Structure 1
Amino acid sequence: MSLAVETQADVRRAIGVETIGMTKIFGSLVALDDVSIRVTPGSFHALLGENGAGKSTLVKCMMGFYQPTKGSVLVNDAEVEIPNPRAAHALGIGMVYQHFTLVPSLTAAENLVISRADTPAIIDWAKERKGLEAFLETTPFKVPLNVPVSGLSAGEKQKLEILKQLYLDQRFLILDEPTSVLTPDEADEVLGLLRGMTEAGDLTILMITHKFREVTAYADEVTVLRRGRMVGAGKVSDLSVNDMSHMMIGDTTIRESAARQVHADAKLKLEVAGLFAEDDEQLPALEAINLKVHCGEILGIAGVSGNGQSELIEVLSGQRTPSDGRIFIDGKPYEPERKLMDTFKVFGFSEEPLKNVAVPRMSVAENMAFRTFDKAPISPFKGWLSPAPMRQKARDLIASYRVKTPSTEEPIENLSGGNVQRAILARELSGEVDILIVANPCFGLDFASVAEIRAQIMDQRNRGAAVLLVSEDLDEILELADTVAVMSEGKITYTSPMDKTDRATIGHAMAGHH
């Protein structure tokens, strides 16, 4: 029987965890440098910082995945040893990961029972179900116990991940980007329930997030890391979003987007008509997709990951063959192949560029030349490449787009994520752009790179380009788009001008409420 169904007096006691002088060094990299953080019992504590700031390293030290080079962990003010995750669990510390760890073919009840260390070889399911029902009475989270996990929504799966930790009597929960796969409504429900449990003194939460909206709405306290060091902390009620973002980025200059220009009577540029496509398993991925993007317009496609957005981008970029439907530019039939992309001035970039739109081992200069290698001056004669003009062009783009690279000849895979994205952005925006197709362009990037890329997208829109922006970050859609369309289960289920809708309405459409 789980510890979680003991007498009410013995359970749900929130615990506090503190790190003192936590330092972790990997070879020449100081990933954590003397970080001391105190998470008080019953608090909802947010951990902020850009990619590479040390957040994941810190919580992995707290969970026993890593052993710190220096420093200690206190639980309820007593120093403890955490040699491995099992020791963390024994102390009441659990973690809910960014990606689900449930077994899809098993029911919620089966997932909970097998998570215990004391699961019997022969399971008495009548007894276990009775115990589970009694346990669920003590929690505000409700999920159907007898449905296979594969049949649950993303919100129900996330609730089940949290329930699993509560069932194992973990009273200090570390949440790693817990809402990245949820609709806004699901995110608010899950965080609201957790906030209620912290207020009741049943639970302590340490949440890694990059969403300031969630921090201001749910967290009591915040700690900010930058380059492995703690650079700020305090009560959320005492800090503005500007205060927190400044702690995260220091004195880095953030580029602001230009004002949105009005394009009167802008003509229709890109039209997608009745597009169908199948996924890699030959199942329907896109069903009757109809989209129109005008000159000087950003059409933002919102939706939870896995609803056909990837397949749509692949069709539009020539990586996937549609089973039906047509694409038109300026009313003329269009096929996404290199020659027509050049003719119609179609450019684009997507998340994880090293996988999708770059050759990792080729140099920065070579990757930047993919659009122009067969034209003068790089190719003065057919079949001949001239390295000097290619390197000069790369040097100009590196300077213009502030790409940090040791040289033009550096393999692009050696650059940081933000600089790879800037290099691809430089290549795709270096010519005259009529149509820009972008997918999750800021995925995993630092604050300054996000601001730079969003400003560049807005610049192209203001110059009159038709922009199709697919993003799983609703805040990005709200900031950039003129028109929003929601994708759900491979269909466009909602479309509206941005000035006639709001976050809640878009969120409901993302959740499948049309």
Structure 2
Amino acid sequence: MSVAQDIAPTQRAISVETIGMSKVFGSLNALDDVSIKVAPGSFHALLGENGAGKSTLVKCMMGFYQPSSGALVVNESEVSVPNPRAAHAHGIGMVYQHFTLVPSLTAAENLVIARADTPTIIDWKKERKALGAFLETTPFKVPLEVPVSSLSAGEKQKLEILKQLYLDQRFLILDEPTSVLIPDEADEVLGLLRGMTEAGELTILMITHKFREVTAYADDVTVLRRGRLVGSGRVKDLSVEDMSRMMIGETEIRESAARTEQTQKKLKLELAGLFAEDDEELPAIEAISLKIHEGEIFGIAGVSGNGQSELIEVLSGQRLLKDGRIFVDKKPYEPERGQMDMFKVFGFSEEPLKNVAVPRMSVAENMAFRTFDKAPISPFRGWLSPPPMRKQARELIAAYRVKTPSTEEPIENLSGGNVQRAILARELSGEVDILIVANPCFGLDFASVAEIRAQIMEQRNKGAAVLLVSEDLDEILELADTVAVMSEGRITYQSPMAETDRATIGHAMAGHH
């Protein structure tokens, strides 16, 4: 572990400190008197749930927002940062969660046009020579002469970091830098950055929700909750339990459901040679064949954009199959409402307001989508009775701990975690034989994640066959009985979870089979 004070004073890394920083938006106190100090040459993690104030804090540091009060101090001197250009002038740069590169340009072109002093007519011979010399000074290696669109996600992330180093930024803010990377790439990128902090060349402030990365790479951690600083310390002195408790406060965390041994192994859901195209009529999924049994969670891992969303759309009836068959209980199955009902097929996915809810309709109405045409809500065909619908909603709200002012609140006014709980309540309120879920905990708070994963495990323990598609490898490792990896629209690896491990799955995600 590097100790900032031990680093030679000639280091390039700079210290950045916020003093009493606050930011008010109307009636919302998004940031409330936050003081953090990131020592030069340290790797500092910033933790907190959605809405904790992490993004607001770094946007104030970068000059995207002007704080309502408080100061920013760089290398012990107070500075004014009216805009991002001023932040860059003080050596502060940011690597965003989503790539900001121009895909059609080469890596070299992306680097040169990022400069504030790019000449009108570029002497490419001179620039390439200078870039070659610059790359010699960094541990990051990226092919400079190929279009960015042909680079892997790991190479793009390295190029985003290289761009900041090329612009001479010596304090880097990383916003969820590994969210689009496979485990091997994430470890490589963070390992290289860690080396640069230890050498005193760089200071890092990383926003993350992955405790594994905090414990492996960070020196110090700061935790925000509801806009306030609630804890900080040396990573080596804190357990994951300590950090998670700081993040969520005294919120009750649901214990994860114990995995029960399943004796019955009846085949429930079979996908036989599925082919489908994307919106550009190019192959999206090819020859997908899977068998999922009662009491089994079948997890599909993979980096985003490898056909997972198209597969889920096929299984939920939102995308046409080009070829192949789906069987439930060995009978042909079509994903439409009547058959979903008959075969007890349920599901939910990330961003439910976009996919499986009507934002402006009430919580009660959204919860009734499965049952609105059945008694007691519809005692006569085509006739809806609101009292039973509200009664059902009240029961589900209580059972699934959905926080809402009333059953009549438009569902779009609820927090992300509560929208997901409401949809979960609807989809799990009946008898479930097959459950199809995609990134069910995407962007949710700690307590909601624990709740949803426990509910999925409970359905499995009751005998449901569960297909879980997730980009979060930790989620797959925690829940799945069987794991498969999807790459370029195909299943490229499959194994019982007991016979594999994180590294093997990670290698398969990287395309090494």
Provide TM-score, normalisation by structure 2. Answer: 0.98
Q: State the Cα distance separating 1:11 from its structure 2 match.
A: 9.8
Deviations 1:405-459 (A, max 9, x none): 1111000000000000000000000000000000000000000000000000000
User: In the aligned structure 1, how far is the partner of 2:239 from the partner of 2:468?
Assistant: 29
- Superposed CA offset, 1:219-260 (max 9, x none): 000000000000000000000000000000111111112211
Alignment of 1:166-181 (within 5 A): 166-181=165-180
What does residue 21 of structure 2 align with? Answer: 22
CA distance in structure 1 between the aligned counterparts of 2:26 and 2:257, rounded to whole angstroms: 43
Q: Which residue of 1 is the match for residue 164 of structure 2?
A: 165
Stretch deviating more after TM superposition (434-443 or 12-21): 12-21
**In 2, Cα distance between equivalents of 1:399 and 1:246:** 25
> 2:73 is aligned with what amino acid?
L
* Aligned counterpart, 1:414: 413
Q: Is the 8 A contact 2:397 2:422 kept in 1?
A: yes
SS of residue in 2 equivalent to 1:223: strand
- What is the root-mean-square deviation in Å for CA atoms of aligned residues? 1.0
What are structure 2's unaligned runs of at least 5 residues?
Answer: 1-7
Match of 2:398 in 1: 399
Q: What residue in structure 1 maps to residue 296 of structure 2?
A: 297
Aligned length: 506
CA shift for structure 1 position 265? 3.8
Distance 1:497 1:78 in 2: 57
Q: Aligned partners of 1:406 and 1:241: how far apart in 2?
A: 34
Residues 39-82 of structure 1, C-alpha deviations (whole Å, 9 max, x = no match): 00000000000000000000000000000000000000100000
SS where residue 99 of structure 2 aligns? coil
What is residue 354 of structure 1 aligned with on the other side? 353
Matching residue of 2:384: 385
1:52 maps to a residue whose letter is G
Whichever residue aligns with residue 86 of structure 1, its letter is: R
Deviation at 1:10, TM superposition (A): 12
Q: Secondary structure at the residue paired with 2:174?
A: strand
Paired residues for 1:474-513 under 5 Å: 474-513=473-512
- List runs of 5+ in structure 1 lacking aligned partners: 1-8
In structure 2, the residue matched to 1:248 is 247
Partner of 1:152: 151
The TM-score normalised by the length of structure 1 is 0.98
What whole-Å deviation, never above 9, does each CA across 1:369-417 have from its counterpart, x for those lacking one?
A: 0000000000000010000100000000001001011111000000000
CA displacement 1:262-306 (0-9 Å, x = unmatched) = 112410100001000110111110010011110000000000000
Q: What residue is the counterpart of 2:5 in the other structure?
A: none
CA distance in 1 between counterparts of 2:445 and 2:502 reads 24
Identify the residue that residue 337 of structure 2 maps to in structure 1.
Answer: 338
Do 1:12 and 1:169's aligned partners in 2 also have CA atoms closer than 8 Å? no
Aligned position for 1:121: 120
1:375 maps to: 374
Work out whether residues 257 and 459 of structure 1, in 8 Å CA contact, stay in contact via their aligned partners in 2.
no
The ranges of structure 1 where at least 4 consecutive aligned residues each deviate by more than 2 angstroms after the TM superposition are 9-12
Distance in 1, matches of 2:111 and 2:256, equals: 48
Aligned position for 2:46 = 47
1:9-60 deviation line (CA, Å, top 9, x unaligned):
9997000000000000000000000000000000000000000000000000
Q: How does 1:138-217 map to 2 (within 5 A)?
A: 138-217=137-216
Aligned equivalent of 1:3: none
1: CA distance between counterparts of 2:141 and 2:18?
Answer: 33
Q: Give the distance between the partners of 1:363 and 1:284, measured in 2 at CA.
A: 38
Q: Does 1:435 align with 2:403?
A: no
Q: Alpha carbons of 1:397 and 1:200: their partners in 2 closer, same or farther (altered >3 Å)?
A: same
Question: What is the aligned partner in structure 1 of residue 102 from structure 2?
Answer: 103
Counterpart of 1:244 in 2: which secondary structure? Answer: helix
Distance 2:41 2:283 in 1: 46
Inter-CA distance 10–490: structure 2 relative to 1 (3 Å threshold)? farther
Q: Whole-Å Cα distance in 1 between the matches of residues 238 and 376 of structure 2?
A: 54
Counterpart Cα distance in 2 of 1:101 and 1:390? 47
Structure 2 residue 93 is matched with structure 1 residue 91 = no
In the aligned structure 2, how far is the partner of 1:290 from the partner of 1:221?
A: 46
Is the CA contact (8 Å cut-off) linking 2:269 and 2:465 kept in structure 1?
Answer: yes
Residue 10 and residue 254 in structure 1: after superposition, are their counterparts in 2 closer, same or farther (change >3 A)?
closer
Secondary structure of residue in 2 paired with 1:392 = helix
Q: What do residues 193-233 of structure 1 show as CA deviations (whole Å, max 9, x unaligned)?
A: 00000000000000000000000000000000000000000
